[in-house]
Amino acid sequence: MNTPIYDFVQTYAESGATRLHMPGHKGVAGSLGVEPYDITEIDGADVLSKACGIIAESEANAGELFGCRTFYSTEGSSLCIRTMVFLLKKLALRSGKKPLILAARNVHRSFVDAVALLDVEVEWIMPHVGESYESCSFSGEELGSLLDRYDREGRMPSAVYVTSPDYLGNVADIAALAEACHDRHCLLMVDNAHGAYLRFLSDNAHPIQLGADICCDSAHKTLPVLTGGAYLHISRAVDSFLMDYVGRAMALFATTSPSYLILQSLDLCNAYLAEHGADFEQAAKRTDRLRASLAEAGYNVIGDERLKLTLAAGFAFSDGTKLAEQMKAAGIVPEYYDKSHVVMMFSPMTREEEYDRVLRELQRLADESIKTGSAGSENQKRIPAPVRKMTPAQAILAESEYVDARDAVGRILAETVVSMPPCVPVYMCGEVLGEDAIAYLGGTVRVIKETLF
């Protein structure tokens, strides 16, 4: 597969041109060493927001790999999510409907920011009792019943929005959810930020393949792409009306100075995937074996995403934070940890000896934990039942102030409360902060000024 962006930049870097354009380093190699390949949208380099040259050609290559229409983002999936919400609102207004999204509660903060900025109404699907706030599982049958209820109330959502895989590695039944949506003429939008590689497993479990209408992939999370590289995918079955607005929608929220380093990495990734896509299945099999070995060692391994291992507090350990600190002392750095979980992400770039190291160290830590009696029961974080008083748009635009978190109980939040990572909101802006929030919060939080009431 050709690499038009990379080839153009390489040729330009080797041309010896006098650069009287941005950026200010003028292509002179400095401490980073990448400066000669860091360019701006000069003649021949195409324009990301209105791609018609080498960027369009590279995006078409990506679309061929994923089986859909694909657009690049150099600002992560956050930009793609804002674009998804814009396109949904545009389509709803064209149909004469008030935009309404039915969303699983474990969304990324960027989704909340998007619906606030675009003033789109959202109804939440809450996690089941016993689920962590990072997860929200439901079946196609459950979704269909819920959509039917909204239809009877005269409030049929324009789209359903789910996060799959979620941060803990749980994968939704996208095919069943898509069927439930399409039977009711409703779009399915998927935040697939953690699952770009699913397309390249032997069973092609990518959301677009399974019936999703629009989804985003953070290429940098699981593919050999620089941080910030992402895809917006649109199914070929989606109303072609939207295609006229994709570039405009992304331009509304994106910088006019996209990183050509990131674009080159997306471009080169196409060639890598075309030649080495099968490597992801091999990496998944290695991770499967590690998963089984850790379970045998006494760990409570949860989730079914094949290149992610999530350990939940249980027999082998009682405090994920302590376990992660022990792992880091042994030179193993996890993706995420809290009191209840430790999350690890793997890829074809993870070497066999690194798998062996993880197994060896975690077996040792499990043995020590059991000997000292420090293991315990799982301590999941529970998401509170929200009490909404304002829409996200109303809340972020209202007059607000910072107060100590302990004094914020009973107040309306002016900004979403998240931990970073996983950047999944515990409380949304516009909701009343409950007593249980003190367990999640520290410092100050921004709340609506009481004088407004």
Say which CATH number the domain at 340 has: 3.90.1150.10
Structure tokens at 297: 């060692």
361/438 same-domain check: no
Q: What is the pLDDT of residue 421?
A: 84
Cα gap 398→393, rounded to integer Å:
9
Please tell me the total number of residues recorded for the chain in this structure. 453
Burial class (CB in 10 A: 0-12, 13-18, 19+), 443: exposed
Could you give the CA distance from residue 328 to residue 362 in angstroms, rounded to a whole number?
Answer: 11
Domain annotation covers residue 387: no
Three-state SS for 81?
A: helix
Q: Sort residue 239 into left (φ over 0), alpha (ψ -120 to 50) or beta.
A: beta
Residues 321 and 403 in one domain: no
Q: Indicate if 92 and 166 belong to the same structural domain.
A: yes
User: Containing domain of residue 439, as a range?
Assistant: 392-452
**In-domain check, residue 75:** yes
- Strand 230-234 and strand 300-302: the pairing is unpaired
Q: Note whether residue 380 is domain-resident.
A: no
**Same-domain pairing of 197 and 248:** yes
The two structure tokens encoding residue 388:
């909404």
* pTM metric for this prediction: 0.94
Helix/strand/coil percentages in the chain, nearest 5? 40, 15, 45
Return the CATH number at 252.
3.40.640.10
Any domain includes 366: yes
Same domain, 216 and 363: no
- Asked whether residue 378 is assigned to any structural domain, the reply reads no
Residues 6+ apart with CB under 8 A from 143: 125, 160, 176, 177, 180, 181
- 197 plus 342 within the same structural domain: no
Angle at 276 between CA 274 and CA 277, to 5 degrees: 70
CATH number of the domain within which 401 lies:
3.90.100.10
Please check whether residue 182 lies inside any domain of the structure. yes
Among the listed residues 158, 145, 166, 154, the one whose alpha carbon sits nearest the alpha carbon of residue 304: 166
Residues 62, 74 within the same domain: yes
- Cβ distance 348 to 282 under 8 Å? yes
Q: Are residues 209 and 300 in the same domain?
A: no
What total of structural domains would you count in the chain?
Answer: 3
Of the three residues 276, 294, 311, the one that is the final residue of a domain is 276
The answer to whether position 377 is within a domain reads no
Q: Give yes or no: residues 129 and 230 share one domain.
A: yes
For residues 46 and 123, membership in a common domain is answered with yes
C-alpha dist (Å) from residue 405 to 42, 111, 390, 444: 49, 24, 20, 5
Asked whether 9 and 264 are in contact (CB, 8 A), the reply is yes
Q: At which of 258, 276, 294 does a domain end?
A: 276
Q: How far is CA 216 from the centre of its chain?
A: 8
At residue 382, the pLDDT reads: 57
Q: Which amino acid is at 206?
A: H
Answer whether residue 379 is part of any domain. Answer: no
Asked if 251 and 285 sit in the same domain, the reply is: no
Intra-chain end-to-end CA distance of the chain, in Å: 61
Last residue of a domain, one of 372, 401, 424: 372
Unique residue bearing structure tokens 């975690």: 362
Model confidence over 63-87: pLDDT tens digits?
999 999 999 999 999 999 999 999 9
| Residue 436 and residue 318 in one domain | no
Spans of the chain, pLDDT less than 70: 370-384, 440, 451-453
